[in-house]
Each structure stands twice: as C-alpha cells, then as structure tokens.
C-alpha cells in the first residue's frame, strides 16, 4: 500500500535515484519563498500511500528547514517514516541531533563530514542508524558483543537480509571513527566554524551576486549569477572558468536546479580567513570584469593547459583513463608515445 516516497525539489539527484532503485514512486514537493519545504504543498501529497520523506537538513540550499517539527508531525500522523540524508551533517555536529527533529532513519556521509576523501570516486561510506523499533529489520550479519568478544549474528527473523558481500568498506569506518574520537567535543566547534566561514563569505558576496534567500545560511550557501547574465551576457559557467585563472577550483554550478545560474559555495571549517578573503576578492574582481570585459570571462580559463571542453560529448562519450599510445611524446618525437614495457611486445 505504501508505495510513495516524498522528496523536496532541492534534493540531490542521488535521492530520487535511490527512491527509484528501491521500487518506490517519487513524489516531488516544492520549496517556499524562505527556502523551506512548502508545508502547504506537502500536506496534499501525504496519505496512506506514503512510505516516508527523504530529506537533507540543512538542505542543498544551505538552509536549516524552519518547519521541520511540523513536517515530522505530518508524516508520523500518516504512519510514514522520516529518512535523514546526512550529506550536510557537517553543519550541526554537536549542536543538534536528527533524532530530535523526529527522523527515524539516518545515514551518515563519512566521505564529507568525517574525513573520507570526497572526490575521485571515494572511498565513501554511509553507515545507517535507526530507531529501536526498526532495529530488527537491519541487514545481516550484525556485529554483536558478547562479554569481551564479538560475533556475527545472522539469527534475525525480521531482517531485510544480506545487502553486500560483507560489512562494506570497513577501513573507511575505522578512519572516520578515529577522526571522531580525535575531535571529541570539538566536533561542535568544527560545525560552528564551518557555519561561520560560510556566513562570512555570504556577507561579502551577496550584494554583488544575488542571494535567492535573504537569511543566515548554514555550512554552505547558493548564489545566483542571473544578474551578470542579464546585464552583461556572462554565465555562471563563465564565472567558474574564470575562477581557475585566480587559482581556485570552481564550486558546484547549476545546482540546486531551482536556482537559476546557481553557484553553490561550501568553504568548510578548515579554511583560514586569508583564504576566504582571497576567494571573495576573486569573485568580486570577476564580477567587475564581467561589466567591463565580458569576453575575458567567455574565453576563460587563460592559464590552464586545457580551456573549454565539449561537455555534451564528454557526458555521452566519457574517456576515463589516459592512454599514452594515443598522445604524442611531449619531448617532440612527433610519434605516438609508448611505454618502455610496451616496446617490442
């Protein structure tokens, strides 16, 4: 009977993908003018057919949902579950707990909040925590402690079964556990500084780049470059490419989808004020260039070995490894380069 999962229109693409892979029907809910889940839109989409809500809080807009208690009440009164996507847990560690918001299931992104590398495919990790009433349904084997020893427990009649070959990327869990123990109570400071850094950058940039929501952000924020596009014909992509000339890796662009010409900026807790100021100065300089020299941005980057890629072709025909035999020797031999081990093979 319960075949529907609700997600907000700000959700990362992995959320609807997970819902679809699990065999559920996806129900989209709008965002209100404050950047929260639109509760009025939500009420008409929750009923006996609803299995739950999948929500990131703070959202991908970098905003803490001000109506989270009301949202939780709506779903629980309908007999549905609340699922917390922990992608943005970095903003609230030691400050608030998803369980206190009313969430029933939480997954933790170890590859973002708890030290695991985020780029290049990982290694990531997503351990899951549930309320006690859901514990019997967790996958097997479960690791249980008996005295001073541990064992694997398969004897759980309500389990959903085995979902992986073993217990997942165990080394990732050990590293994140060590990270958490090392920080200890300072995890709260980690989140506080991440939020402080983001709000500092927002304050410096919001008068030049449009801020779609006029409120304090959490650990990240979203700006819009539509003013530059409207007045000077410069796109967010142009801004991102020009940032490379200033020595900064571009932030995520064109996401969330509900913000036109979006720039998502997440400074994290590890950057010093000098770095934040250098980034803000670069962004402001680029906006000034857009007004006086728009072609400078349209042709950027200027100091990189590769300029603009054919991104449509890259998406359709990805090349994910370097092949020496397909490139000329940089020494100038003029012939396709071969590795020593390949010669005479």
171: confidence class by pLDDT, cuts 50, 70, 90: confident
| pTM of the predicted model as reported, rounded to 2 decimal places | 0.88
- Report yes or no on 236 lying in a domain: yes
Query: How confident is the model at residue 119, as a pLDDT?
Result: 63
- Report yes or no on 76 lying in a domain: yes
Radius of gyration of the chain measured on its C-alpha atoms: 24
Render pLDDT for 281-321 as a digit per residue (tens, 0 to 9).
999 999 999 999 999 999 999 999 888 888 889 889 988 88
CA distance 192 to 6: 30
In sequence order, what are the beta bridge partners of 210? 224
| Mean of pLDDT over the chain | 92
Q: Could you give phi then psi for residue 341, rounded to 5 degrees?
A: -65, -20
- Give percent of the chain with pLDDT exceeding 70: 92
Examine the pLDDT at 23 and tell me if it is beyond 70: yes
- Report yes or no on 317 lying in a domain: no
Examine the pLDDT at 335 and tell me if it is beyond 70: no
- Report yes or no on 250 lying in a domain: yes
From 50, 81, 108, the end of a domain falls on: 108
* Burial tier of 333 (Cβ tally within 10 Å: 0-12, 13-18, 19+): exposed
Q: Are the C-beta atoms of residues 330 and 305 closer than 8 Å to each other?
A: no
For residue 51, what are the domain limits?
4-108
The count of domains in the chain is 2
> 96 Cβ partners below 8 Å, 6+ apart?
none
Q: Write the CATH number for 260.
A: 3.90.1150.10
Q: What is the mean pLDDT of residues 204-231?
A: 97
CA distance 260 to 257: 7
239: confidence class by pLDDT, cuts 50, 70, 90: very high
Render pLDDT for 126-156 as a digit per residue (tens, 0 to 9).
889 999 999 999 999 998 999 999 999 999 9
Distances (CA, A) of 248 to 125, 147, 281, 283: 27, 52, 11, 10
- Report yes or no on 326 lying in a domain: no
- Report yes or no on 57 lying in a domain: yes
> 278 Cβ partners below 8 Å, 6+ apart?
none
Query: How confident is the model at residue 233, as a pLDDT?
Result: 98
Examine the pLDDT at 341 and tell me if it is beyond 50: no
> 6 Cβ partners below 8 Å, 6+ apart?
27, 28, 29, 42, 45, 46, 50, 52, 53, 54
Query: How confident is the model at residue 169, as a pLDDT?
Result: 78
Examine the pLDDT at 12 and tell me if it is beyond 50: yes
For residue 152 the two structure tokens come to 């694997």
φ/ψ region of 213 (left if φ > 0, alpha if ψ in -120 to 50, else beta) reads: beta
328 or 91, higher pLDDT: 91
Q: Are the C-beta atoms of residues 123 and 140 closer than 8 Å to each other?
A: no
Query: How confident is the model at residue 336, as a pLDDT?
Result: 47
Examine the pLDDT at 339 and tell me if it is beyond 50: no
In sequence order, what are the beta bridge partners of 221? 265
The answer to whether residues 196 and 289 belong to one domain is yes
Examine the pLDDT at 121 and tell me if it is beyond 70: no
In sequence order, what are the beta bridge partners of 223? 263
For residue 234 the two structure tokens come to 């410069």
Query: How confident is the model at residue 180, as a pLDDT?
Result: 96
Examine the pLDDT at 329 and tell me if it is beyond 70: no
130, containing H or E segment: strand 128-130
Q: What is the mean pLDDT of residues 12-16?
A: 92
Report DSSP state, residue 134: G
Q: Write the CATH number for 53.
A: 3.40.640.10
- Report yes or no on 211 lying in a domain: yes
Which region among 56-65, 112-121, 157-166, 306-315 has the lowest average model confidence (pLDDT)?
112-121
Q: Are the C-beta atoms of residues 86 and 59 closer than 8 Å to each other?
A: no
Distances (CA, A) of 236 to 171, 244, 261, 299: 39, 13, 5, 13
Q: Are the C-beta atoms of residues 102 and 84 closer than 8 Å to each other?
A: no
Examine the pLDDT at 337 and tell me if it is beyond 50: no
- Report yes or no on 159 lying in a domain: no
The answer to whether residues 103 and 193 belong to one domain is no
The answer to whether residues 104 and 193 belong to one domain is no
Examine the pLDDT at 206 and tell me if it is beyond 90: yes
């Amino acid at each position: 009977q319960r075949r529907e999962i609700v997600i907000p229109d700000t959700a990362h693409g992995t959320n609807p993908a997970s819902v679809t892979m699990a065999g559920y029907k996806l129900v989209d809910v709008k965002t209100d003018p404050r950047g929260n889940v639109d509760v009025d839109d939500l009420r008409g989409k929750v009923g006996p057919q609803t299995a739950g809500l999948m929500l990131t809080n703070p959202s991908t807009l970098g905003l803490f949902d001000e109506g989270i208690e009301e949202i939780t009440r709506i779903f629980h009164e309908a007999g549905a579950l609340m699922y917390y996507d922990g992608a943005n847990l970095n903003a609230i560690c030691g400050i608030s707990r998803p369980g206190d918001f009313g969430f029933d299931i939480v997954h933790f992104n170890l590859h973002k909040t708890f030290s695991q590398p985020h780029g290049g495919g990982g290694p990531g990790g997503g351990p899951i925590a549930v309320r006690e009433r859901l514990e019997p349904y967790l996958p097997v084997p479960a690791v249980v402690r008996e005295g001073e020893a541990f064992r694997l427990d398969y004897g759980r009649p309500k389990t959903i079964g085995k979902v992986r070959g073993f217990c997942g990327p165990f080394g990732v869990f050990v590293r994140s556990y060590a990270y958490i123990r090392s920080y200890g109570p300072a995890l709260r400071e980690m989140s506080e500084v991440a939020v402080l850094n983001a709000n500092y950058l927002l304050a410096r940039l919001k008068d030049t780049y449009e801020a779609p929501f006029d409120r304090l952000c959490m650990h990240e924020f979203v700006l819009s470059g539509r003013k530059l596009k409207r007045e000077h014909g410069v796109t967010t992509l142009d801004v991102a490419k020009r940032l490379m000339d200033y020595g900064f890796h571009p932030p995520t662009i064109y996401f969330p989808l509900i913000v036109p010409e979006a720039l998502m900026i997440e400074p994290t807790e590890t950057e010093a004020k000098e770095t934040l100021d250098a980034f803000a100065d670069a962004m402001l300089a680029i906006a000034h260039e857009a007004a006086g020299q728009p072609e400078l941005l349209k042709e950027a980057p200027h100091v990189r070995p590769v300029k603009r890629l054919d991104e449509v072709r890259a998406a359709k025909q990805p090349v994910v490894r370097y092949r020496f035999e397909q490139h000329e020797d940089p020494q100038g031999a003029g012939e396709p380069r071969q590795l020593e081990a390949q010669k005479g093979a």
